[in-house]
Structure 1
Amino acid sequence: MTSKSLQSFLDENIADLKERGLYNEIDPVQGPNGPIITINGKKLINLSSNNYLGLATDERLKKVAKEAVDSHGVGAGAVRTINGTLDLHLALEKKLAEFKGTEAVISFQSGFNCNMAAISAVMDKNDAILSDQLNHASIIDGCRLSKAKIIPFNHSDMDDLRKKAKEAVDSGDYNKIMVITDGVFSMDGDVAKLPEIVEIAEEFDLITYVDDAHGSGVLGKGAGTVKHFGLQDKIDFQMGTLSKAIGVVGGYVAGKGDLIDWLKVRSRPFLFSTAVTPADAAAATKAVELLMESTELNEKLWENADYLKEGLKNLGFDIGDSETPITPCVIGDEKDTQKFSKKLNEAGVYAKSIVFPTVPRGTGRVRNMPSAAHTKEMLDDAIAIYEKVGKEMGLI
């Protein structure tokens, strides 16, 4: 029997979310998550996936994943520190270190796990973390878990970061101070000012941490935001996922050998959660190899992104100041945003609405994620649908 207090809490709060246009409904995809998806039996142009390079459905990845199941089974069978570390995990970490230009890499079950694991393994209640105000939820939760003092700084405001770094250092209250930022901010598509962040970090001896979930495979000819700026030797923690541009699942932290050794003995998800499957490890390794061998998919991604951005901007949509393929169409009002997304869906485009608490109130948007797998014809059809729905709703 459900607790009365729990049921009252659920009824009241779910009704409130629905009333304010903040209730998110999940749409199951029938079949693969490619450039065209099927939902409720209807084919839609997919502009909501993080599958930037189309690798989630790549035949080469599927082949090695199947081979790994045959050779190693469907599961790792244990946590990494007992006997769940397979040769496939070591091969993945070696390839990722080569890809990111670092001494070593530790892999995790997800990007979210990386931030929960790595931050709290190094920072504690005697430390402080300078965190960009628009950092991802996993960074925020990782910082909270560490029990360090969290000092937010205004988004990409280097004067504010410098001021707060100086205050934290001058206070003498903290043993260590970290500055942490997304490499690419997932809701607006802008890029962190890493050269300036590194300059401030060197001035005040800050530990540097970059969450490059949306930068790996996208910037730096695929190698990520840190490589884009040539700062591999200046960033202490490079975090990335294997579930976006890489097309599989999992996450990793790249850095100095000593740091990775420490994370292997002190990061809790590594110690207490079963390792990623053999198929996932093999497929992710293959994806990284493909990115190291050729920039073709990366170039196609950017070509498609520029094409979609130009089309939507020319129609009069507010696409913000994105510097990456992430292309928001900012609508503002949460209910209007939900309605716009629904009408796009009905017309043949799947572009999910993003509202509070994922983005600030009053900045609801439909976020578009073009991929290397989209054809120009698909993008032309999507732009035409945006024009039709936008005019129907009086948005353009």
Structure 2
Amino acid sequence: MSDAADRNTTQPSLQSRVIDKNRELDNKGLLRKRVKVILDTEHANCFEVDDLPYINFSSNDYLGLSRSANVIDALHKGAQDYGVGGTSSPLVTGYNQAHQQLEQVLCQATGHEAALLFCSGFSANNALMKSLFNDNDTVLADKLVHASVIDGLQESGAVIKRFLHNDLASANTHFERHAPCALLTESVFSMDGDIAPLAELSALCRQYNAWLIVDDAHGFGIIGDKGLGASTLAGDIHIDAQIVTFGKALGGQGAAILGSRELIDYLVANARHYIYSTALSPAMACAVCAAVEAIIERPSLNEQLQQNIDCFIEACKTKDITLTGSTTAIQPIIIGDSARTLAIAKRLKEHGFWVGAIRPPTVTQGSARLRITITAEHCAEDINAFVAVLADILQDD
């Protein structure tokens, strides 16, 4: 019998592996499942699941731009002008004036020389890591960087060193010991909502002649001058590569890598995600342009979001609910145990409030949490009602 045949008789079948893994995850309360939501076309942050209504406190549409009339009109006109799909790879005939205009708008907003569009933030992060680094490199990353960054680094072959979350002393120690060629962080961390000390990290990178790479997925549209992201924060910040995603505050879909002209030219020639994928929809590029313009021209969007965040924080303080200190739209409440987190989220749903129950491996063991997100489209009445119910559930739990 051949080695291959012998392996086939001793290893479980693929079907058995799938069934066993599903059962294992289900027993641990970690089996993820999709939920079909029926959106309320008249009321933002409202939807139905199985004919039951909910107020949504788990959306990343922080400014409500996914439902903006101007953004929708731009998407419609873009589809009329350029068609719906990208039609081919950007290196064939999939790159047109709609894509170029969005790249220029993003560069003007952030101060970078050039940009490259991708169909998702995961793809952009993954492509940058795999294309830029190799097994001769040592790279330093915050302990809590996104899975797309870690996956890309692992596939690149680079040596990965992790510094303690937002800890400058830890980062400095790793620079002294390992001489990494780049440091990777997020601007606003997706599960904690805290902001990285970018000015200080930038200074460290300059000191050690390393690149600073920032995943600005949850920051662009929210932080910085006019909400224009990490590169516009106060302080002397130089970012060598900045990833902006369109599916959060911009309300769309897709992403961009921003950096020097040399970096973008290098990625065009080497990033397999870019070379072998159909281009981002030109209609979506038009919509994202309109969303960036809305952030610049309508500061009231960010002002309303901040009012709602303040309202939530104050309501929690009044009800003695412990928060993490986040000042952004992402407001986690650490529960710890996965089963308990799921149970609390279920009870919130029974009262008509939908909140994400985040468990390992998305977060570390023992830090399961409710990931509450506030948007500009929430109202004080709904926020206060939600906090009152949450306080009662936590007290009874």
8 Å CA contact 1:32–1:57 kept in 2: the answer is no
In structure 1, C-alpha distance between the alignment counterparts of 2:186 and 2:40, rounded to whole Å: 29
Q: Return 5+ residue gaps in structure 2 as ranges.
A: 1-10
Q: Hey, what does 1:35 align to over in structure 2?
A: 45
**Superposition deviation, residue 231 in structure 1:** 4.4
In structure 2, C-alpha distance between the alignment counterparts of 1:376 and 1:134, rounded to whole Å: 31
5 Å-filtered alignment, 1:112-127, equals 112-127=122-137
Q: Hey, what does 1:70 align to over in structure 2?
A: 80
**Superposition deviation, residue 23 in structure 1:** 2.1
- Picking from 20, 23, 27, the partner of 1:15 is 23
8 Å CA contact 1:35–1:373 kept in 2: the answer is yes
8 Å CA contact 1:103–1:256 kept in 2: the answer is yes
Q: Hey, what does 1:6 align to over in structure 2?
A: 14
**Superposition deviation, residue 361 in structure 1:** 1.1
In structure 2, C-alpha distance between the alignment counterparts of 1:111 and 1:230, rounded to whole Å: 26
In structure 2, C-alpha distance between the alignment counterparts of 1:10 and 1:330, rounded to whole Å: 31
Q: Helix, strand or coil for the counterpart of 1:195?
A: helix
Q: Hey, what does 1:226 align to over in structure 2?
A: 231
In structure 1, C-alpha distance between the alignment counterparts of 2:334 and 2:91, rounded to whole Å: 46
Deviation track 1:165-209 (CA, whole Å, cap 9, x = no partner) reads 11123xxxxxx7111011111111111111221121111101110
In structure 1, C-alpha distance between the alignment counterparts of 2:364 and 2:204, rounded to whole Å: 28
Instruction: Sort the Cα spacing of 1:316 and 1:24 in 2 relative to 1 into closer, same or farther, 3 A.
Output: farther
5 Å-filtered alignment, 1:345-384, equals 345-384=349-388
5 Å-filtered alignment, 1:51-66, equals 51-66=61-76
1:45 equivalent to 2:55? Answer yes
Deviation track 1:129-154 (CA, whole Å, cap 9, x = no partner) reads 10111111011112112211111111
Q: Helix, strand or coil for the counterpart of 1:150?
A: strand
| Amino acid paired to 1:76 | G
- Picking from 193, 216, 230, the partner of 2:197 is 193
- Picking from 106, 121, 140, the partner of 1:111 is 121
8 Å CA contact 1:194–1:229 kept in 2: the answer is no
**Superposition deviation, residue 230 in structure 1:** 4.2
**Superposition deviation, residue 267 in structure 1:** 1.5
- Picking from 208, 213, 225, the partner of 2:212 is 208
Q: TM-score under structure 1 normalisation?
A: 0.93
5 Å-filtered alignment, 1:111-190, equals 111-169=121-179, 177-190=181-194
In structure 1, C-alpha distance between the alignment counterparts of 2:265 and 2:236, rounded to whole Å: 22
| Amino acid paired to 1:28 | K
In structure 1, C-alpha distance between the alignment counterparts of 2:75 and 2:40, rounded to whole Å: 15
**Superposition deviation, residue 354 in structure 1:** 0.3
| Amino acid paired to 1:111 | G
| Amino acid paired to 2:119 | Q
Between 377-386 and 244-253, the greater mean CA deviation after superposition? 377-386
| Amino acid paired to 1:228 | L
| Amino acid paired to 1:225 | A
Alignment RMSD (CA, Å): 1.6
1:267 equivalent to 2:277? Answer no
8 Å CA contact 1:121–1:146 kept in 2: the answer is yes
- Picking from 369, 388, 391, the partner of 2:395 is 391
8 Å CA contact 2:58–2:373 kept in 1: the answer is yes
In structure 1, C-alpha distance between the alignment counterparts of 2:171 and 2:117, rounded to whole Å: 30
Q: Helix, strand or coil for the counterpart of 1:74?
A: coil
8 Å CA contact 1:349–1:385 kept in 2: the answer is no
Deviation track 1:220-274 (CA, whole Å, cap 9, x = no partner) reads 1311123113445x11011110110000000111112221222222212111101
- Picking from 213, 217, 220, the partner of 2:221 is 217
Q: Helix, strand or coil for the counterpart of 2:13?
A: helix
Q: Helix, strand or coil for the counterpart of 2:93?
A: helix
In structure 2, C-alpha distance between the alignment counterparts of 1:322 and 1:142, rounded to whole Å: 28
Deviation track 1:317-355 (CA, whole Å, cap 9, x = no partner) reads 222121312101111111000000011011110001001
Q: Helix, strand or coil for the counterpart of 1:81?
A: coil
In structure 1, C-alpha distance between the alignment counterparts of 2:379 and 2:235, rounded to whole Å: 32
**Superposition deviation, residue 32 in structure 1:** 5.8
Q: Hey, what does 1:172 align to over in structure 2?
A: none
Task: Determine what percentage of the aligned residue pairs are the same residue.
Answer: 34
1:317 equivalent to 2:327? Answer no
8 Å CA contact 2:199–2:235 kept in 1: the answer is no
**Superposition deviation, residue 44 in structure 1:** 0.8
Q: TM-score under structure 2 normalisation?
A: 0.93
Instruction: Sort the Cα spacing of 1:314 and 1:21 in 2 relative to 1 into closer, same or farther, 3 A.
Output: farther
**Superposition deviation, residue 4 in structure 1:** 5.1
8 Å CA contact 1:308–1:379 kept in 2: the answer is yes
8 Å CA contact 1:51–1:244 kept in 2: the answer is yes
Q: Helix, strand or coil for the counterpart of 2:108?
A: helix
| Amino acid paired to 2:379 | T
In structure 1, C-alpha distance between the alignment counterparts of 2:236 and 2:133, rounded to whole Å: 23
1:241 equivalent to 2:245? Answer yes
